[in-house]
Amino acid sequence: MAFQILLNFFLAFVWMFLKSSYTPASFFVGYFFGLLIIYVFRRFFDSRFYLVRVNAVAVLFLLFIKELFLANWSVLKLVLRPKLNIKPGIFALPTELKKDWEITVLANLITLTPGTLVVDVSFDNKTLYIHAMDIEDINEAVDSIKNSFEKAIMEVSR
């Protein structure tokens, strides 16, 4: 993916040299045409067309923001409720992610989701230990959320 971006920059510079006008505007025009060229020649690269991955990163970022707001809403409801009836606990979540940065992003996402907080990652990187605010109703719902997060992260790294 980094190679494709670098190639795109190179094509933009080639375009600037062909036009012999060295302005940001001609750089962007060249970048756009380079993007088209890379799209046409996408089957010669071994990774996917890189805009797909850029899009996946954007989706992941929006997911982060959305979860942050939902988490705050749930904490707000919990704290301002007159009676505390929560059942906290630590549960284990097996993960399929392999690379360190993927696990870090997943842990950050989980920490910013409603009612969950990562306490520990096991030594073999296969299990996350998560402290949940309300273990009863959350356990299954959270598992489905985790699957969507894991999928979004895999979409980026694939």
Partner 1 sequence: MFVGIFILLGAFLSLVAAFGLIRLPDVYTRNHAASKSATLGVMLTLLGTLIYFYFIENHFNSRLLLGIAFIFMTSPVAGHLISRAAYNSGVKLWGKSVVDDLGRDRKKMNHRQS
Q: Applying CB under 8 A, which residues contact partner 1?
A: 64, 68-69, 71-72, 75-76, 78-80, 84, 86-92, 107-108, 111-112, 115, 117-120, 122, 127, 129, 131, 133, 135-136
Long-range pairs of 59-67 with CB within 8 A, sequence gap ≥ 24: 59/152, 59/155, 60/105, 60/152, 60/153, 60/155, 60/156, 63/109, 63/149, 63/152, 64/108, 64/109, 64/112, 67/109, 67/112, 67/113, 67/114
The nearer residue to partner 1, 26 or 125, going by C-beta atoms, is: 125
Nearer to partner 1, 36 or 92 (CB): 92
Residue 43 beta carbon to partner 1: minimum distance, rounded to whole angstroms: 36
Q: How far is the CB of 105 from partner 1 (least distance, A)?
A: 10
Alpha-carbon gap, residue 122 to 94, rounded angstroms: 10
CB of 147 to partner 1, least distance (A): 19
Instruction: Please identify, using beta-carbon distances, which residue of 12 and 67 lies nearer to partner 1.
Output: 67
Start-to-end C-alpha separation, the chain: 11
Smallest separation, CB 157 to partner 1 (Å): 18
* Comparison of 136 and 143: residue with beta carbon closer to partner 1: 136
